[in-house]
Structure formats: C-alpha cells, structure tokens
Amino acid sequence: MALDIESIYKEHNALLEGHFLLSSGNHSAFYLQSAKVLENPKTAEILAKELAQQILDYGIVLDCVCSPALGGILAGYELARALNVRFIFTERVDGKMTLRRGFEVAKNERVLICEDIITTGGSAMESAECVKSAGGVIVAFAGLANRGLCRRTKTDGTYSMGKSKEVCKLSQDIPLFALADFDFELYDPKTCPLCKDSVAYKPGSKVF
C-alpha cells in the first residue's frame, strides 16, 4: 500500500501555509518543511525505504547518493542507508556547489542526486554538474516530494506528465523519482498576488 505523503507532512506540521520565498526565487502560499518530517528517525527510515524501492523496481544501479547541503542531507543519507551505498554531499562555496571535506568521486562512479524537495531542481542540477566534473555519472535524481514542475518517473516507465515545465532545470533524459507530487501554484516575484498584503520570507527565517 502506497504511503499517503500529504497526510504524513500534515501530521508532522510540515505542510506550511503563508507567503514564502523559495530557493528557486519564486513565491508560494505553501511550503513543505521536510526537516519536521525527518526529525523523526523512524519516519525518515520509512520514507527512504519507500523511495529506495521505487528506484530498485525501476532497475537503477548506483554506487553513491549525493545531496546538496543543507536541505537534502537528511533525505540523502537515509536513502543511501536504505540502498546500502555510500553518501556524500556538496555545499555552496562562494556561490558555487563544491565537493569538500575529503569527499571524492571515482571515475564513472554511478551517482544518484537526492533532495528533500524538488522544485525547479536547480540545486540538484548544480550538484550533478559538480559530480560530473569530478568524473561521476548521474544515473537518477530523487526527492521525497516533487513540486510538480519536473516530470516524475514511475516504476512502470511512464511519467507524471508529458514533459517538464519550462522552469524545470533537471536533465530530461535522466529519471526523477519522488514519493508524491505537490502541485502548488508558484508565483514570479514581479507578479505575485500575495505581495499585495504581505512580504515573502524564507522558511526557517521566521519563528512560527
């Protein structure tokens, strides 16, 4: 039986409503605070195992999971644990995603890039480029949830939509796996209707 991801986020008070500035630069009335879900180790394990099963059922073979810091680290680590592969992460240094802390990627090492939430996939794609420049091969992208801008791959080889929306930055020829799609409206800051009554803020920068 498939997990009800929306209910799990609501149960953990992780589906927030307000006026949010997303890392993509867009505004939204909703925000998925995955850290609230992943703070429970048992829940994190259950979600990661479900995501890992999708990846295995599709037939992806990988050697390593890599996540962009900071948001993707918990999701990526738990996914790597479920898949029994090693885990590394990239972090931004002077505005550029970089491998640090002694992390290395072997030539032709098969790497999956994991985020907590895939919106436009910008950070995931930056991590992918970092891994590729180190000699790795990107075999898949994954996230606990997908904001509905990027086409999600299903285990039977079909997709959640015909093609990704223009703002999606992920490579279209590499599969994306996620537990659910959350197709919330995103607004360009220049035309955001929410800005008439409030100022957008980055989640985590305000005490609830």
SS3 174: coil
Mind listing the pLDDT tens digit for each residue in 51-104? Answer: 999 999 999 999 999 999 988 999 999 999 999 999 999 999 998 999 999 899
Per-residue pLDDT, averaged over 184-207, amounts to 86
Mind listing the pLDDT tens digit for each residue in 31-52? Answer: 999 999 999 999 999 999 999 9
In whole angstroms, give the CA distance from residue 50 to residue 162.
24
Write phi, then psi, for 82 (nearest 5 degrees): -65, -30
Contact 90, 128 (CB under 8 A): no
Q: What is the DSSP string of 58-87?
A: HT---SEEEEETTTTHHHHHHHHHHHT-EE
Does the pLDDT of residue 177 top 60, yes or no? Answer: yes
Write phi, then psi, for 47 (nearest 5 degrees): -65, -45
Q: Which domains occur in the chain, in start order?
A: 38-184 (3.40.50.2020)
